[in-house]
Amino acid sequence: MIEYMLLAFGEVVMVFGALGILRFPDVYTRLHAATKCDTGGAMTILLALALYTDPSVFIKLKLLLLAFLIALINPMVSHAIAKGAYKYGIKPKVVVDMYAWDNP
Amino acid sequence: MSRIPFYLKERLEEVQRRVLYESYDAQKLPVWERIVLTWILLFSFWIVITANTSLDNLIIGAIATLIIASFMRDMLMEDVRHRGHLIEKIVYFLLLYAPQYLIIMAFRLIESNIKVAKNVILMDINPGIIKIKTDLHSDTGVTILANSITLTPGTLTLDVSKRLGETYLYVHWIDVETLNREKAGEKIKGDIEEWLKKIFW
């Protein structure tokens, strides 16, 4: 039962992440939606698969390893994209920008 | 000592405290401990990836990962705190620290997903870029802290800068609540930094 709930939660989160990429105003807020919703959705779906399938214990361990690698790589890539966008010169729509104060 | 300005005096006392209490912890581990820890990690990865527990496969994997671990010993284990025995470290990590971190991050990830869904529907965003200070100084610790901050609700790490022996993080916050550095740091980092300071210096 719990695997169906996890699967449904992951799908709903992925849908909201895609909606966020369309609706938010600039690069950085869109990256919020992409990073968090992709990581959470993919990890919940992989956890549901690891609970649901029963071939052997190694397949489950491989799925958990995949979830761990996603959690490790996804924030790093979003950090690289955000810093690259800032260095390229895209101004964020913000109320306060302390990064521009320190790097004029 | 009494003639230096107030902010410099505070800073000097902090540096002295750090030298007093953390210079022992900031040493590198002994060579064999580094090799053994890296070897355990690589060998468990080998077993999971090959999915084969026959004896000759295990022997090949043990020899290959031992050779790689003896070359690559500084890559992962350089910044671990010099504290306690090796077995103590492994048991504490497996039984106490890893489940603690997994539970904290799982609940924060679910909370951040729900918060992004709420922001998408209502569009009540008020973004800003805030600078916060951390007490961690090693590269691995700052990396894990920045990744954890990216996965916590409403925040995204932009850049890290080290100035005058102190580490600062620039964080894009989707709903700015305060500009005070200490309050913002407490709200953003939470208890992850306390957890990381037990393992990395």
The complex scores an ipTM of 0.86
**B176/B124 Cα distance (integer angstroms):** 11
Q: Residue B198, CB half-sphere, CA atoms under 13 Å: how many?
A: 12
**A4/A27 Cα distance (integer angstroms):** 33
Q: Phi first, then psi: what are they for B72, rounded to 5°? A: -100, 30
**B19/B113 Cα distance (integer angstroms):** 41
- Chain B residues contacting A, CB < 8 Å? 45, 48-49, 51, 105, 109-110, 112-113, 116-117, 119-120, 123, 125-131, 146-147, 150-151, 153-154, 156-159, 161, 170, 172, 174, 176, 179
Could you read off the pLDDT of B177-186 as tens digits, one per residue?
888 878 888 8
Could you read off the pLDDT of B55-92 as tens digits, one per residue?
898 999 999 999 998 888 888 777 777 777 888 888 88
The structure tokens listed for B151 are 């996965």
pLDDT computed for residue B2 by the predictor: 62
Could you read off the pLDDT of B132-173 as tens digits, one per residue?
888 888 888 888 888 888 888 888 888 888 877 788 888 888
The structure tokens listed for B5 are 């300005």
The answer to whether B147 contacts A40, with C-beta atoms less than 8 Å apart, is no
Q: Phi first, then psi: what are they for B154, rounded to 5°? A: 85, 10
Tens-binned pLDDT, residue by residue, of chain A (104 aa): 888 888 998 899 899 888 888 888 888 888 888 888 888 889 899 888 888 877 788 888 888 889 889 988 998 998 899 888 888 888 888 787 777 787 76
Reduced to 3 states, what is the DSSP secondary structure of residue A29?
Answer: helix
